[in-house]
Amino acid sequence: MKHKNFLKVRELTACKSLFIMLVMGILAIAAAVPAMAQMTSDRVVLGSKAPEGVGLQSVSPYVAPPEVFVPDSSKEVPEDVGVRMHTNYLIYNPSRIQPRALRDLSQPEPEENPEPNIAMKIVHETPASLACVYGMGRSYRGCAPMINKAYNATGGGRAIAIVIAYDNPTALTDLQYFSTYFRLPAPNFTKVLANGNGSCSTPPYDAGWALESALDTQWAHAMAPNAAIILVEACSSLTTDLMYAETVASTYLLSNYGGGEVSNSWSGSEWSGQTAYDDNFPAYGYSYGNNVLNTVSYFFSAGDNGYGAQYPSSSPWVISAGGTTINRDPKTKAFVSESCWAGSGGGISAYETSTVGFPSGTGWWAAYQYPIFGQASRMTPDMSFNADPASGVYVTYSGTWYIVGGTSLSAPALAGIVNNSNNQLGMATLFSVSGSGYFTNAENNLLYSQLLNHKEYVTNFYDVTTGSNGAPALPLWDYCTGVGSPRGKLGK
């Protein structure tokens, strides 16, 4: 889709912008080539080499264990590729009984500050426990799951938009109950219907996608409790409807908050026509005459099928969200480590290559991975968050508690963490002093710039080096967790 503002600025500044990008490219090559020449040809340490026997698409896909339920909305059939998108959440189902409905998968209410040293008790993640692990709230010994507002995340600003398919009629009441139960601030919530493309008057209801929206709104709020939550509902899971909703979300954030984060927990297998959608991300809202433009960052789930790239996660203009497992001491429930979750998506894009032109591919407008891979395709993910259903989180939907995991959790939680950092980065910049500017994924530029800065990296990120999604977790960057998982608000 082409946008009026995008066309306007390209007419006015195209020559200058292209000249700047050309100069930047020449300078980057000059700076990078000597350093690259000192590296080994496969650069294994930085994770650029695909696992043995792995092609561009995937290895044997992740198969959910018996205690994990895959809802219909998270399943993809061949005829959906490029046409429809799917959710990326899984439900922890310890009974292993095939449910008739989502409600059959309900869990007992979370216990208030459950006692440790009860080996048989199943304790799942709460806003306090993950705020502690990820450095968004006060730290306490062990970061064990608990209900206590003193340890929840604090901060956040502007707004986070959640783009979803279909309608969730209980989204607000669920979010309010979640906030009350876990003693979070009351949410500032708005629902926006993305129906301006004529696909519907009101999005219909779908239970699978409704639970997705409950997960997304609640856990974005948990990581950035002071940010407004904007739920943008598309008419359907058609790619065209969801991409239209993406522009509605961008417009709303820019018009009402001057920018923000857009979280998307949906994706699909890559296909040859995907690059036609890439300009939905950098181009929208670019308006001639402003100093900073499109201060919107876009987050997408990397997928729940193990090794392999999915779209839009593989677009160079978004932050791709991978998944980890939270490992705890079985007796004390104290946090021990994070490892790569076997189901986390991540891999090498078949279509976002160095040979395609702006706005697609990995040209100098998206050079954040160049120091790792050189002139190569887009690799995913960029960073990660807890996603294993076995270390899943509490979500309330339509009066029922569920334990949910998947990279559908990673995307809104990471959007909340980045929102809480308050760097207000985006996709496009125009300097009034020169009348010229450029498009760039500023959030990924910041994330990747810390990889080779030891002091910043070990402070701001947890380097996940254990586990595998078909590709092993490695020091620094890997195909499961990207640069790692965040710690604190700096460098995000």
Give me the domains of the chain, ranges plus CATH numbers: 4-486 (3.40.50.200)
Q: What is the mean pLDDT of the chain?
A: 86
Q: Kindly state the percentage of the chain with pLDDT values over 70.
A: 84
For residue 6, pLDDT over 50 is answered with: no
For residue 138, pLDDT over 70 is answered with: yes
For residue 448, pLDDT over 60 is answered with: yes
pLDDT digits (tens, 9 = 90+) for 388-423: 999 999 999 999 999 999 999 999 999 999 999 999
Rounded-to-integer distance, Cα 408 and Cα 412, Å: 7
Q: Which residues contact 30 (CB under 8 A, 6 or more apart)?
A: none
Work out whether strand 189-194 and strand 228-234 pair parallel, antiparallel, or are unpaired.
parallel
Average pLDDT on 433-446 reads 87
For residue 256, pLDDT over 80 is answered with: yes
pTM of the entire structure? 0.88
pLDDT digits (tens, 9 = 90+) for 453-467: 989 999 999 999 999
For residue 53, pLDDT over 70 is answered with: no
Q: What is the structure's pLDDT at 428?
A: 82
Query: Which pair of tokens denotes residue 149?
Result: 């507002």
Query: Which pair of tokens denotes residue 333?
Result: 């429930």
For residue 449, pLDDT over 90 is answered with: yes
Rounded-to-integer distance, Cα 396 and Cα 217, Å: 11
Average pLDDT on 197-219 reads 97
- Contact indicator for 279, 329 with CB cutoff of 8 Å: no
Residue 378 dihedral angles phi and psi, to the nearest 5°: -70, 130
Q: What is the structure's pLDDT at 293?
A: 67
For residue 204, pLDDT over 50 is answered with: yes
